[in-house]
Amino acid sequence: MPALVSKGLRDYRRSLVRWTVGIGAFFGLYLSFYPNISQNQEIYGPQALAKFPGAMRDLMGGMQDFTSGVGYLHSVVYQLFGPMLFVVCAAILGNRAIAQPEETGTLELTVTLPVDRRRLVFERFAALALGLLGVAAATFLFAWALSAAVDMDVASGRILAAHTGVFLLGLFFGALSLAVGAATGRRGPAMAVVGVVAVGGYIVETMGRNVDAISWLRWVSPFHYYLDGRPLYQGFPVGDYLVLAGATVVLLLTAILAFDRRDVGV
């Protein structure tokens, strides 16, 4: 393994362990509620959920078939909260790749070494991707085991499809954070851009299904290419996932070019 990748993983290890434990705890908390949900159709069935405001149901993915295993898993874990946890995790890792060490002054020592700047950015991203993949793999196994334990009756392949989408979505936002940090050298702007794109993209994708004025913006939302394929229901949406992966590559190339041409004070 390249030295910069292994160093990046060492730098991330405590954060990755915390995120894995935190996301796993979130899954455990919400999936443990499922038996109570499935046994109380009169409280959580379609007629009861229809009383919720339409905007709230839109933001939660419609909350359809909430008492079934796949409906509950989709609405509670893979619609909003799970993806957002991965987005925040990846964005923080992306920020720590370039922007944070530049602000603290430690990056200057690295760029004075005989290491090509483009290689530096690429290998920092590789460490980010491997770290996030480790979190995704561990939490997938946890989600699959818990769903089986509470009899959700959701195929492991469908959970893998959804978890793959969450990983790709997180990787996109990690690359976005890296690109802004590489271009500006500041943590604040990177997190601000990620926050605006994440929140705005999610609202556009969920609300845009029923609001014609913003429906056209769904095609530029990264959440569209994760949510529209409904992986828990339909399996791997290969085309959509390829778009997410392609956009991530574009952001990585942008980060490499921006950092290669910028003065970092050495």
Which pLDDT tens digit goes with each residue over 160-182?
Answer: 999 999 999 999 999 999 999 99
Show me where the domains of the chain are located: 3-261
Alpha helices in the chain (DSSP H): 3-31, 34-38, 41-44, 46-49, 54-59, 69-72, 81-97, 99-104, 107-111, 117-149, 156-184, 187-207, 212-215, 224-227, 231-234, 238-261
| Contact assessment for residue 176 and residue 201, using Cβ atoms and an 8 Å cutoff | no
Instruction: Say how many residues make up the chain.
Output: 266
Neighbours of 53 (CB within 10 A): 8
Give the pLDDT score at 63: 62
The pLDDT of residue 266? 47
DSSP annotation of 217 reads G
Cβ contact 226:165 at 8 Å: yes
Is pLDDT of 256 > 80? yes
Residue appearing with tokens 């499935």: 38
pLDDT-based confidence at residue 113 (cuts at 50, 70, 90): low
Q: For 186-211, what is each residue's pLDDT tens digit?
A: 889 999 999 999 999 998 988 887 77
Whole-number pLDDT of residue 8: 81
| Percent of the chain at pLDDT exceeding 90 | 52
Q: Give me the amino acid identity at 196.
A: V
DSSP SS3 for 6: helix
In percent, the amount of the chain with pLDDT more than 70 equals 87
What is the amino acid identity at position 117?
A: R
For position 109, what pLDDT does the model report? 67
Q: Which residues of 209-218 are buried (b: 16+ CB within 10 A; e: fewer)?
A: beeeeeeebb
Are the CB atoms for 82 and 29 separated by under 8 Å?
no
Cα torsion 74, 90, 92, 255: sign:
negative
Confidence class of residue 6 from pLDDT cuts 50, 70 and 90?
A: confident
Q: What is the pLDDT of residue 127?
A: 94
Residues 51-99 pLDDT 10s: 555 555 566 655 667 778 888 898 889 988 899 999 999 999 999 888 8
